[in-house]
Amino acid sequence: MKRALVLAPVAALLLACGERNPENSAACGFAILGAANAVRLQMQNGSKVLTSIPLDMGTRIATRAPGYGTAPAMVADSPDGPIVAFEGNGFPTVPGFGVILVEDSTDTFQGVLVMDLDPLGMGYPILGGVTNGSYMIPMYGLRVSWGAVSTPDCPLFAPIDTAGSATP
């Protein structure tokens, strides 16, 4: 009987994750953590690090911190590169960094993943910054094998509409 009482809330939580928005599912929650780890490992390799901003990086882009949903962000130019105004949840405390992700097979910009890790010692070109309005973290860039970090069932970034909100 005790086992049933413990399992009932767990089952309710799993059902509450919802099927409409895959970002809210437990499976996709694990997938985003795996994707963030894959990005981190590819950054350590260094062979796919970007040295310049992708030409197709727009002024309204998708951003995400692992463990949180996709959030739209505005991008502004600065003398030191683009500044991404992060509006979502999960912005890291300093240290942290953002990573511009470009799909390597099509060379297309996908979004910016915000990581809660120390960027010191990477030695890669800083392409710009990500800010939450209080402080800024450096932004790097990386070409990734998109199928290794995102799937149609668990996209790394949910689509954002022209009004700037994430769409389920």
DSSP state letter for 145: -
Instruction: Output the CA–CA distances (angstroms, integers) from residue 46 to 39, 118, 146, in the order listed.
Output: 11, 16, 17
How does residue 95 score in pLDDT terms, banded at 50, 70 and 90?
confident
* pLDDT attached to residue 14: 35
Token pair for residue 120? 């010191």
Interval 14-38: pLDDT, tens:
334 444 566 768 888 888 889 999 9
* pLDDT attached to residue 74: 95
Radius of gyration of the chain (CA): 17
How does residue 2 score in pLDDT terms, banded at 50, 70 and 90?
very low
* pLDDT attached to residue 22: 63
Q: Is the pLDDT of residue 154 over 50?
A: yes
Q: Are strands 71-76 and 97-103 parallel, antiparallel or unpaired?
A: unpaired
Hey, is 57 helix, strand or coil?
A: coil
pTM for this structure?
0.82
Distance of CA 84 to the CA centre of its chain: 12
Interval 118-139: pLDDT, tens:
876 778 999 999 999 999 999 9
To the nearest 10°, report the CA torsion of 125, 127, 130, 134.
80
